[in-house]
Structure 1
Amino acid sequence: MDLQDNGICFGDTAFNTPMANENQQEDSESIHLDSNGRLTFSPNDPSNPQNWSFARKVFLSFIAILLVVNATFASSGPSAVLSGISSSLHVSTTASSLTVTLFVLANAYGPLVWAPLSEHFGRQRVFQTTFALYVVFNFLCAFAPNFGALLAGRLLSGVFAREAMGLFTIAIFTGPTLGPVVAGFLQLKKDWRWFFYVLLWLGGATLPLVFMLPETRPNIVLLQKARRIRKQDPTQKDLQAPAEASGQGLGALFKTALTRPWRIFIDPIEICCAAYTALIYMLLYMLFAIYPLVFRQMRGWNAGVSELPLLGVVVGSIFGGCGVLYTTHTTHKKLATGHKSVPEDRLPLACVGAVLFPISMFWFAWTAQYNSIHWIVPTLAGVPLAASFLFVSVAYLNYIADCYGPYAASALAANAVCRAFCGAAAPLFTPYMFEALTVAGGGSLVAGLGCLLAVAPFVFVKYGAQIRARSKFASSVAASSE
């Protein structure tokens, strides 16, 4: 085959195909091949998501943030209306807390189910389908005739909300915090169903925007492009995208997604990171039971006002996010000057968070215990506490990604499942734990666990290279990068 006559390019040389000559306005349909003869992106290919305009990226990021806010806002909101659910549907308060537990527990299925589906079918179709079903099952929650229907709706809406949860860490921590604040005032003035009405309105307003999302997964974009070219130009019938050449089916993707995370989970780096991030995620959902105990039961505030101190956690999340952005910026500047990075470069932020976490938890526990201490003091403790959440979570998740390289998706999936199980358990035991131990005792127990885990990032900074060298998965990544 004459490559020049057929308009195919290798390396930096490009030729127009007959089809491209007829459609010169569509530069995205020009053919560029990689060293294996598979379709790839040209340097300025407009179909490559990395080449999209800044304005388009901002708009799509805005939609992604809305998806995260929908999912996280929905996850914790019922914690503020448990008494309303309990009295309306004639169940115990502990049983009503399952509305939070099942939603968060359903998040564990995300990395195991939606990840391989999005890899096979593309992110666009998975996002659109799952979010539409999320809205449908929120309708079931809002109009549930009994407790069983409500639990079914929460479980299923949680399953289909999970695909958006991997984006934008700030929203992941602020969304759950805002949910109880809004729900508390809705129960005070209306009833518990109004929170689910708000979820329906928010989801309904977001749904049209979700259908404006284009495909962003590169292998799927190239697959779609190859199919268009073959359809428009029969002479290119042998053209293949990398996804077609790999021959990996959906079954193989599911096998990898369901088995590899657990092989990586026993790795020392993964176990330690999972334990720490799971503790943070568990404490986040514990706060939604602790704050009503402190400010409603102990101080006598109403259902709405008693949730307002959670805004300290929102402020802390914003400060923490700014710290993460600053650290990311400085890291990029170092890389631009030729600095050779190692995974442990991610950990200074975790070291800061590891120190802040137990200090701020002790601060909250021992000032919230006594009504004689002004309410602003324990409220302000939520600021460094939330900042520590972000510092540790972002640093550890980035550290996992850098350590495990091509296995990062599996390592992060195991971490996400562990976080989801711990977060789901929190609403069930937190009220009993803090009633038995008091706020000071229960908070000190959590802070003590934070003290034990605080040494981990410092150990990884000093001995991370040696630990990675002994890891089956991380060592192979290190060897391939040398």
Structure 2
Amino acid sequence: MSQEPLFFDKTGHLEFGPDDVDNPKNYSLKRKCYVTGIAILLVMNATFASSAPSGSFQSVSEDLKVSAEAAGLVTTLFLVGYCAGPLFWAPLSEFYGRRNIFWISFALYLAFGFLCAFAPNFGALLAGRFLTGAAASAALTNAPGILADVWGAVGRGNAMVLFATMTFVGPALGPVVSGFLQVTKNWRWTFYVLLWMAGLTQLLLLTLPETLPAMALRNKARRVRRTTENDSVRAPVEDSDRSLGGVFKIALTRPWKLLVDPISFLVSIYYALVYTLLYMLFSIYPIVFQQKRQWNAGIGELPLIGTVVGACIGGLLLFVNTQIRQRRFAHGRTPVPEDRLPGAMVGAVMFAVTIFWFAWTAEYDSIPWAVPTVAGTFLATSILLIFVTFINYIIDTYLMYAASAVAANTVLRSACAASSPLFTQYMFDAMGVGGAGSLIGGLGVLLMPMPFVFYKYGALIRAKSKFASTEETRNPPADEESLPKSLTMNSVSNTNNEPLDERN
């Protein structure tokens, strides 16, 4: 049996050769799709679980003898876990690899899910929700890294659109399922469903290969040493001087430095608004369709399916736009970050318009239910356009610091969204659907010029930043939704020990 040819870099370390089957980028299309499917399923578990109990707050309140407002903490504590998780799981994934961290984090998610499902009191339920949120956040933090590991520029762009769409589909479907379970069963059945989903996913995780290139190369080096007894074959990561403490130091300090940088700060504010509104919708829809129109808890959550359709429309628009731009600019100049912003421009205008449309058609029961439902559909489309476009803009703007910028953004938006179940009911009771919606719409109008300003002056703003890239000429993009090539390798040559998991 002939030995496979080995390739080494200038320092004498093992590297992937052309068409190397151990390189995740060279997986077959079938295997890439399978790995992507597992990553998307992980995300669906996390996002579905984040909002699912919101459809059964009444049942929680009655069974555990707490107020309806206190029941909202079931969602709040889960999202607080979202805040803590990214700063913990991303460095561990960079240090130990994707697969091991997914195995551990999801096993914890499944274990703490039992605590939620069989909680003897409200305190135990809240503790379980915080812990499951922290564990589930590994999916949102590290799943994009898997997509970057296995796909090239074109495939990764399409996979990322699918990933972003699922981050909206999951939360929208959660209340629909739990609403019907509240009518026919009780709130614990929501957590039984979550356990069934998690159990299936945990089994599939056993088949997930290690995709982080540095770890895949290390595994190959170990296999070569074992089969050839040549101890001189080593991967770069095996001789690097990085430490877990150093990785955590960067992960816990740099995001806050990036947060106050102008572009990162303003985008984070915009993100906080749209992400908070997303979780407010899970309280707003029951107000509109159950409280005002007297629908039951099951039927009253069905209009949320409109937001699922809207997210899919947004994903389809981004996918089509990517294909068009790839053909148009296949031989164009190197793109700069501002080339991504037209999608956010459309989304910003649509966001402001659809908020007012939804609020004032939902205010009056005489208006058919389909009208605010359609408004909510296009509201979800606008949120997805803003979400995907700006996350790619942040990545392109900060390049080697993108992981820190995205981590800061994730913590801020999750913290804001965590508060939404605690004030939404009071806000809409006091101001009415039209008034409260107009307040949110007014904020949307104030933030609407942001992508337009960045499109025109972004290069000048970046030039004054010590973190941002400084290209000053706007060129047509070759791939609207793909990452810069410098972010796709996740190699061990990252001299800053920057966690790369969220760069997608």
Give the TM-score of the pair, scaled to structure 1: 0.92
CA distance in 2 between partners of 1:177 and 1:78 (Å): 12
User: Within the alignment, does 1:363 sit opposite 2:376 as a pair?
Assistant: no
Change (3 A) 1:473 1:334: farther
SS at match of 2:467: helix
Q: In structure 1, what is the equivalent of residue 368 of structure 2? A: 374
Change (3 A) 1:231 1:335: farther
Q: In structure 2, what is the equivalent of residue 106 of structure 1? A: 81
Deviations along 1:17-47, one digit per CA (max 9) or x if unpaired, are xxxxx454xx4xx421123332211120001
Deviation at 1:121, TM superposition (A): 0.5
SS at match of 2:468: helix
Is residue 34–residue 40 contact of structure 1 (8 Å, CA) maintained in 2?
Answer: yes
SS at match of 1:116: helix
Tell me the matched-pair count: 455
The structure with the larger Rg is 1
CA distance in 1 between partners of 2:26 and 2:85 (Å): 29
Deviation at 1:164, TM superposition (A): 1.1
Q: In structure 2, what is the equivalent of residue 400 of structure 1? A: 394
SS at match of 2:211: coil
CA distance in 2 between partners of 1:138 and 1:342 (Å): 44
Deviations along 1:44-97, one digit per CA (max 9) or x if unpaired, are 000111100111111111111111111111100111111110110011111111
Change (3 A) 1:105 1:191: same
Consecutive aligned runs of 4 or more in structure 1 exceeding 6 Å deviation = 476-481
Q: In structure 1, what is the equivalent of residue 210 of structure 2? A: 215
CA distance in 2 between partners of 1:98 and 1:75 (Å): 12
SS at match of 2:333: coil
Q: In structure 1, what is the equivalent of residue 159 of structure 2? A: none
Deviation at 1:184, TM superposition (A): 0.2
Is residue 405–residue 477 contact of structure 1 (8 Å, CA) maintained in 2?
Answer: no
Deviation at 1:334, TM superposition (A): 4.4
Change (3 A) 1:223 1:320: same
- For residue 379 of structure 2, the aligned residue among 385, 389, 414 is 385
* Superposed counterparts of 1:313-352, under 5 Å: 313-352=307-346
Select the structure with the greater relative contact order (CA < 8 A; seq sep ≥ 6): 2
Q: In structure 2, what is the equivalent of residue 413 of structure 1? A: 407
Q: In structure 2, what is the equivalent of residue 80 of structure 1? A: 55
User: Within the alignment, does 1:469 sit opposite 2:463 as a pair?
Assistant: yes
Is residue 79–residue 417 contact of structure 2 (8 Å, CA) maintained in 1?
Answer: yes
* Superposed counterparts of 1:6-405, under 5 Å: 22-24=1-3, 27=4, 30-166=5-141, 167=144, 168-235=163-230, 237-405=231-399
Q: In structure 2, what is the equivalent of residue 433 of structure 1? A: 427
User: Which amino acid in structure 2 is aligned with residue 165 of structure 1?
Assistant: L
Deviations along 1:243-263, one digit per CA (max 9) or x if unpaired, are 233311100000000001011
Deviation at 1:109, TM superposition (A): 2.0
User: Which amino acid in structure 2 is aligned with residue 128 of structure 1?
Assistant: W
User: Which amino acid in structure 1 is aligned with residue 316 of structure 2?
Assistant: C
Change (3 A) 1:331 1:219: farther
Query: Structure 1 vs Structure 2: percent identity of aligned residues?
Result: 54
User: Within the alignment, does 1:450 sit opposite 2:425 as a pair?
Assistant: no
CA distance in 1 between partners of 2:424 and 2:410 (Å): 21
User: Which amino acid in structure 2 is aligned with residue 74 of structure 1?
Assistant: A
Q: In structure 1, what is the equivalent of residue 152 of structure 2? A: none
Mind listing any 5+ residue stretches in structure 1 that lack a counterpart? 1-21
CA distance in 1 between partners of 2:472 and 2:132 (Å): 40
Deviation at 1:477, TM superposition (A): 8.2
CA distance in 2 between partners of 1:195 and 1:102 (Å): 17
Is residue 81–residue 192 contact of structure 1 (8 Å, CA) maintained in 2?
Answer: yes
